[in-house]
Structure formats: C-alpha cells, structure tokens
Amino acid sequence: MPLIIDGVELENGYCIDILVERKLVLELKAVERTTDIHFSQTLNYLKLGKFKLGLLINFNVPRLKLGIRRVINTK
C-alpha cells in the first residue's frame, strides 16, 4: 500500500502480507505471542485501505485456532 502524506507519495509504504478479494487483510506472524502493537499494525492497514475485516494470525502456537485474532475496522 502506498503511503501518501499531503499529496506526496513515500516510497516506503506499508506492505500487507495477504489481501483476499480486496476485502480481507491477513497479517501473518510467527512470534511467541502477539501484542497490541501487532493488533494496531493490522488495524492501521484496515483503516488506510478502507477495508472492514482483518485476521492477525500467529503460527507459533500449538493449535492454529489459538493464534487467530479477528480485527474489525468500525470506521
């Protein structure tokens, strides 16, 4: 995703891991545990792209369903 501030496009934009059907943002991690920073990063992708739904997925868990966190853009 390009980052545009005051009409100026910056080369170092945001990089969404996976975007499904231009509707669902998948942010993939392999960390000991996800934090509020990971959640905020995913929410920022949703807000900047005007997407409604995202999934923060951590693969470093014993069962995958324990590593999935739903993120919703309410604005």
- pLDDT over 90, % of the chain: 75
- The pLDDT of residue 12: 66
User: Given a cut of 90, is residue 30 above it in pLDDT?
Assistant: yes
User: Given a cut of 90, is residue 48 above it in pLDDT?
Assistant: no
**Beta pairing, strands 53-58 & 24-29:** parallel
Between 11 and 50, the more confident residue is 50
11-25 tens-digit pLDDT? 666 789 999 999 999
CA within 13 Å, CB half, 8:
4
- The pLDDT of residue 6: 81
- Residues with Cβ within 8 Å of 17's Cβ and at least 6 positions away in sequence, in order, are 26, 27, 28
Per domain, the residue ranges of the chain are 22-75
